[in-house]
Amino acid sequence: MTGFDVRSARMGDVDAVLELWRTAAENESRPADTRASVVGLLERVPATLIVAVSDTDLIGSLMPVGTGGELTSTAWPSAPAIAVVGSGEPC
């Protein structure tokens, strides 16, 4: 992997996001996400879901959560191949 872009998710990313979450999930005890729930999220708050894309492959996602003055993330699932080699680059 030579690089990747980070951007807000788009409606066209929904299926790839769901597949990423299915393959990279670490919490199998929680209910599965649905296409309707991700579409609803993007309709209500489009910038809530951030994705990392390498060429045409979605390789990661992030959902930042605000709690008053703080910003945290709920999870940063990444494609298994990327999780092994890492996706960090020097700033």
**pLDDT tens digit sequence for 37-60:** 999 989 998 888 999 898 878 888
Domain map (residue ranges) of the chain: 5-85
Residue bearing tokens 């729930």:
37
Note the CATH number of domain 5-85: 3.40.630.30
**Confidence at 77, pLDDT banded by 50, 70, 90:** low
- pLDDT, tens digit (0-9, with 9 covering 90-100), for 8-48: 999 999 999 999 888 887 667 777 889 999 999 899 988 88
Q: Return d(Cα 54, Cα 71) in angstroms, integer.
A: 26
**Confidence at 74, pLDDT banded by 50, 70, 90:** low
The reported pLDDT for the residue numbered 80 is 65
What's the mean pLDDT when you consider all of the chain? 78
Token reading at 72: 């945290």
DSSP class of residue 8 equals E
Q: Return d(Cα 57, Cα 16) in angstroms, integer.
A: 8
